[in-house]
């Protein structure tokens, strides 16, 4: 209990939602000596849509991989609620590329996480069909990835991550390679999905606009060494739609986030001279 209170105090926002994961003094030094992350304190609360925003090299992807358990911190601890580590099956991960099996159909790609848990195709079918409907891919079950557009591939990737109904969805710049129109659409659909299910999202991005539109919390990171620079609460209410995207509130929040990001980038500008 005391632990959780401390964790929430670190986050700097008072909120009733219980903490799901606390990163305490987490650091990561790669074997080549590069410090990817240094002394990161961050609390992720149940139901958060939290964006990690920062320039390239700020360690935001590294942080995500640590949370996923794909890599281990060299210092500090990740404290999942209830102690220890979270069951991996409670995590969904969406990569920067769609990362689909090119030889498998859309249906089989979404089946994969369930298949790896030993669930047969027939048994998994209802869950897969439902998930495909929710990402608006009904009718494309038998298509193979190369027959789909970039946006559709990403939808398959999201469906695959969500088909196990994970409590946490980790997304590593998932829409960075998409055109703006497709990106807006996927942003809207992702928010819709999140509002219905209220899972927790950690969303890595380098886009100010995307992070402000999606999240209730934007954590701005700075580079060299990768660290948490500041945090912004985006207090606009959900559902957020196209009206929000064009509202003055949104513009003001974006400007605010932009300023913080510029400060974060400037805070490392000095190290350019000795580094390069």
Binding site for another protein (CB under 8 A): 68-70, 88-89, 91, 93, 95, 97, 99, 101-104, 112-113, 115-117, 144-146, 164
**Based on CB atoms, which residue is closest to another protein, 115 or 206?**
115
Residue 26's nearest CA partner among 36, 12, 14, 13 is: 36
Q: How far is the CB of 44 from another protein (least distance, A)?
A: 18
**Based on CB atoms, which residue is closest to another protein, 46 or 97?**
97
CA–CA separation, 28 and 204 (whole Å): 17
**Based on CB atoms, which residue is closest to another protein, 118 or 275?**
118
Cβ–Cβ < 8 Å for 168, 86: yes
- Edge-to-edge, what's the strand order for the sheet holding 35-45? 35-45, 19-29, 75-80
Q: How far is the CB of 88 from another protein (least distance, A)?
A: 6
Q: How far is the CB of 13 from another protein (least distance, A)?
A: 29
Q: How far is the CB of 187 from another protein (least distance, A)?
A: 22
**Based on CB atoms, which residue is closest to another protein, 95 or 184?**
95
**Based on CB atoms, which residue is closest to another protein, 30 or 103?**
103
Q: With 0-12 CB in 10 A as exposed, 13-18 as middle and 19+ as buried, what is 143?
A: middle
Q: How far is the CB of 174 from another protein (least distance, A)?
A: 12
Q: How far is the CB of 97 from another protein (least distance, A)?
A: 6
- Bond prior to 225 in cis (omega within 30° of 0): yes
**Based on CB atoms, which residue is closest to another protein, 73 or 225?**
73
CA–CA separation, 127 and 131 (whole Å): 6
* Token pair recorded at residue 61: 């992807």
Residue 208's nearest CA partner among 243, 134, 260 is: 260
């Amino acid at each position: 209990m005391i632990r959780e209170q401390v964790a929430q105090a670190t986050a700097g926002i008072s909120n009733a939602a219980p903490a799901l994961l606390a990163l305490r003094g987490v650091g990561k030094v790669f074997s080549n000596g590069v410090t990817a992350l240094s002394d990161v304190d961050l609390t992720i609360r149940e139901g958060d849509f939290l964006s990690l925003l920062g320039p390239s090299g700020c360690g935001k992807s590294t942080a995500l991989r640590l949370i996923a358990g794909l890599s281990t911190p060299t210092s500090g601890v990740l404290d999942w609620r209830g102690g220890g580590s979270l069951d991996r099956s409670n995590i969904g991960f969406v990569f920067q590329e769609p990362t689909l099996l090119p030889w498998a159909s859309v249906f089989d790609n979404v089946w994969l996480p369930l298949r790896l848990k030993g669930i047969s195709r027939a048994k998994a079918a209802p869950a897969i069909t439902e998930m495909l409907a929710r990402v608006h891919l009904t009718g494309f079950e038998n298509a193979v990835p190369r027959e789909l557009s970039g946006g559709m591939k990403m939808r398959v990737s999201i469906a695959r991550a969500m088909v196990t109904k994970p409590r946490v969805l980790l997304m590593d710049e998932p829409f960075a390679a998409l055109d703006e129109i497709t990106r807006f659409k996927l942003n809207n659909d992702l928010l819709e999905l999140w509002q219905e299910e209220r899972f927790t999202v950690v969303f890595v991005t380098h886009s100010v606009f995307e992070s402000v539109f999606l999240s209730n919390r934007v954590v701005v990171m700075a580079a060299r060494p990768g660290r948490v620079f500041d945090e912004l609460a985006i207090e606009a209410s959900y559902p957020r739609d196209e009206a929000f995207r064009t509202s003055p509130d949104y513009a003001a929040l974006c400007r605010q986030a932009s300023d913080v990001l510029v400060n974060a980038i400037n805070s490392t500008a000095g190290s350019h001279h000795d580094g390069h």
